[in-house]
Structure 1
Amino acid sequence: MSEGVPNVFEDVELAAVRSALLEWYREDHRSFPWRETTDPYEILVSEVMSQQTQLGRVVEAWEDFLDRWPTTEDLAAAERAEVVAFWSDHSLGYNNRAKYLHEAAEQIETDYDGSFPDSPEELSELMGVGPYTANAVASFAFNNGDAVVDTNVKRVLYRAFGCPDDAAAFEQAANELMPAGESRDWNNAIMELGGVACGQTPACDEQSCPWREYCDAYHSGDFTAPDVPEQPDFEGSRRQFRGRIVNTLGEHDELGLDELGPRIRVDYQPDGNYGREWLRDILTDLAEDELLELDGEGDETVARLRR
């Protein structure tokens, strides 16, 4: 146990808690296609797509993506612009994720001879794969991960066992609670619990939460939890306009600010709130992400997709 981090399971029968959750999950859970595979590539695609994108939008995009590029070899051989355009067409958020996924496929093919590494440490070496995603792929593809700690898991641990709202405490509690050799089902199960029974508005009885008899919040009626910001709406967001810019530039060789602006926003006015300054700021971000190139300065700026 880490120094200074309290033991939140001091009076908890861990075997019973673990068994109850796994039985609940295995009896019934939401059906997502990536839960029916152990292919690390398919799981990586689902994890990258799910970052800041609602799962309801991910299913169709995931299936379409794998139809088009079914293996890392296929993805690595694709033109990056095609992958980025797909990302935008399916409203999957920041396009740099598509770029990183493409680069990760190239790494798999060139550095790993087409075979995925199976540990969180090695998976973290892939482009754009952070500790959370690496651990998720190790868990769901290889049953070889640590406990996943996302916002759903934090909420569950805070409510059920009084875990302090502290990163080290959440990490320790999640790993102590997870049974050895069960990272695939366990991580799916505890995230499912937070997603359907222990959301920001809890549905303990409606979803037959398996931890009701152990849960501090259920017995006290106090369902406060760490402040977890809700995912921002996609409509009208900066992500949406980034996608529109990439799509529009995909149809034209290059466009100046005042040619591009009206094509992505009907209320574009060169000197207005949504004018050249606003547009140039988004274009600069996209250029820094190596998704497009900018020529010229000031009002003479011209944008084109990076090839």
Structure 2
Amino acid sequence: MSEPERAPSTDLDAARETLTDWYEEGHREFPWRRTDDPYEILVSEVMSQQTQLERVEEAWGAFLERWPTTEKLAAADRSEVVGFWSDHRLGYNNRAKYLHEAARQIEEEFDGEFPRTPDELQELQGVGPYTANAVASFAFNAGDAVVDTNVKRVLHRAFDVPDDDAAFEEAANELMPEGESRIWNNAIMELGGVVCRKTPRCDEEPCPWREHCHAYETGDFTAPDVPTQPSFEGSRRQFRGRIVRTLGEHGPTPLDELGPRIRVDYAPAGEYGREWLRGLLADLSDEGLIEIEEHEDDTITRLRH
């Protein structure tokens, strides 16, 4: 495999050592960085998907206090797990459903032993290649290079890697020191999250890779487009969460009683009326989170247990 494109003066061994030294000397202290428990790391990874880390930090501790092991989570009522997810604004509720199902798989299909390799971890419900590799890296130090939007930005700027997923994967794995996935993946993601942000802070922080960086040498700090998280306020995610929370509090609820509880301007025949509400309910039903009962004179919704 060829080495990644880079500024002519770059010594890869020196760049690797500089980055890991920078990370070890001082980095953001998130609690999941102080554990190698695969369950705790899986929870943090699922929570962190398109969710601010400050919000995740508070929710992560509360979640593990309530369900400290896969055994406890697998035995929990799914509606309680989904309700927790919604209350803490952790994104799409199907992530809570998948995490609950993954805990059940570990207990029933893996005899309570956490799978260790990325391929085995992908057998868990809702665990894709990125999450599987992150858990293998941070829990077992046995993963490949993690490639998220922060890492892509670093690779594109520092080594002029083209905006292509295959190129990013190849360059990231070539850069990572063998057998050091835990510290390396944390370090390069930290570099992207703290220094090499959309608006880079090369001198303010300062960046440990300034002398190795193609962008710093040329002054061209363009980077791949980074998708922005849609506004939560007024979004379908917000109202879906309100539905789950309301049904958890009030139990089975008729359609026209549910509507005003989740939206003050609900009007049965209006823009935000029965048709709009049925669309939200259909999504939640497809995900297995609620049940819809059609009666001759009404529609009743309830959480699925």
Normalised by the shorter chain, which TM-score bucket? over 0.9
Corresponding residue of 1:55: 53
Corresponding residue of 1:14: 12
**Shift in CA distance, 221/107, structure 1 to aligned 2, threshold 3 Å:** same
Corresponding residue of 2:156: 158
Q: Could you tell me which of 173, 176, 182 is aligned with 2:180? A: 182
**Shift in CA distance, 250/9, structure 1 to aligned 2, threshold 3 Å:** same
Secondary structure (helix, strand or coil) at the match of 1:213 reads helix
**Shift in CA distance, 249/218, structure 1 to aligned 2, threshold 3 Å:** same
Quick one: distance in 1 between partners of 2:93 and 2:72? 19
Secondary structure (helix, strand or coil) at the match of 1:245 reads helix
Corresponding residue of 2:28: 30
Quick one: distance in 2 between partners of 1:179 and 1:215? 19
Are the aligned partners of 2:19 and 2:188 in contact in 1 as well (CA < 8 Å)? yes
Contiguous gaps of at least 5 residues in structure 2: none
Corresponding residue of 1:278: 276
Q: Could you tell me which of 251, 254, 277 is aligned with 2:252? A: 254
Q: Could you tell me which of 129, 132, 155 is aligned with 1:131? A: 129
**Shift in CA distance, 299/206, structure 1 to aligned 2, threshold 3 Å:** farther
Corresponding residue of 1:265: 263
Identity of aligned residues (%): 72
Quick one: distance in 2 between partners of 1:52 and 1:281? 23
Bigger drift between 45-54 and 295-304 goes to 295-304
Are the aligned partners of 1:257 and 1:299 in contact in 2 as well (CA < 8 Å)? no
Corresponding residue of 2:101: 103
Secondary structure (helix, strand or coil) at the match of 2:288 reads coil
Are the aligned partners of 2:6 and 2:158 in contact in 1 as well (CA < 8 Å)? no
Quick one: distance in 1 between partners of 2:80 and 2:120? 28
Bigger drift between 229-238 and 206-215 goes to 229-238
Deviation sequence 1:34-93 (CA, Å, 0-9, x none): 000000000000000111111010011100010011111111111111111111111111
Q: Once the 2 structures are TM-superposed, how far is the Cα of residue 210 of structure 1 from its aligned partner?
A: 0.7
Are the aligned partners of 1:155 and 1:198 in contact in 2 as well (CA < 8 Å)? yes
- State TM-score, norm by structure 1: 0.95
Secondary structure (helix, strand or coil) at the match of 2:211 reads coil
- The question of 1:90 aligning with 2:88 is answered yes
Q: Which letter maps to 2:196?
A: C
Q: Which letter maps to 1:295?
A: E
Quick one: distance in 2 between partners of 1:298 and 1:279? 18
Bigger drift between 53-62 and 263-272 goes to 263-272
Secondary structure (helix, strand or coil) at the match of 1:114 reads coil
Q: Could you tell me which of 225, 248, 252 is aligned with 2:223? A: 225
Q: Which letter maps to 1:20?
A: T
Q: Once the 2 structures are TM-superposed, how far is the Cα of residue 257 of structure 1 from its aligned partner?
A: 2.3
Are the aligned partners of 1:276 and 1:299 in contact in 2 as well (CA < 8 Å)? no
Quick one: distance in 1 between partners of 2:296 and 2:21? 62
Q: Once the 2 structures are TM-superposed, how far is the Cα of residue 297 of structure 1 from its aligned partner?
A: 7.8
Corresponding residue of 2:241: 243
Bigger drift between 218-227 and 297-306 goes to 297-306
Q: Which letter maps to 2:18?
A: A
Are the aligned partners of 1:291 and 1:306 in contact in 2 as well (CA < 8 Å)? yes
Quick one: distance in 2 between partners of 1:273 and 1:183? 51
Quick one: distance in 2 between partners of 1:302 and 1:162? 56
Deviation sequence 1:243-294 (CA, Å, 0-9, x none): 1000101122322222111101112222222222221111111001000011
Provide the aligned C-alpha RMSD in A.
1.7
Return the structure number with greater relative CO, CA threshold 8 A, min gap 6. Answer: 2
Q: Could you tell me which of 120, 131, 141 is aligned with 1:143? A: 141
Quick one: distance in 2 between partners of 1:269 and 1:240? 18
**Shift in CA distance, 151/297, structure 1 to aligned 2, threshold 3 Å:** farther
Bigger drift between 276-285 and 127-136 goes to 276-285
Quick one: distance in 1 between partners of 2:254 and 2:217? 62
**Shift in CA distance, 244/299, structure 1 to aligned 2, threshold 3 Å:** farther
Are the aligned partners of 1:103 and 1:127 in contact in 2 as well (CA < 8 Å)? yes
Deviation sequence 1:207-229 (CA, Å, 0-9, x none): 11111011111122221111112
Q: Which letter maps to 2:106?
A: I
**Shift in CA distance, 195/303, structure 1 to aligned 2, threshold 3 Å:** same
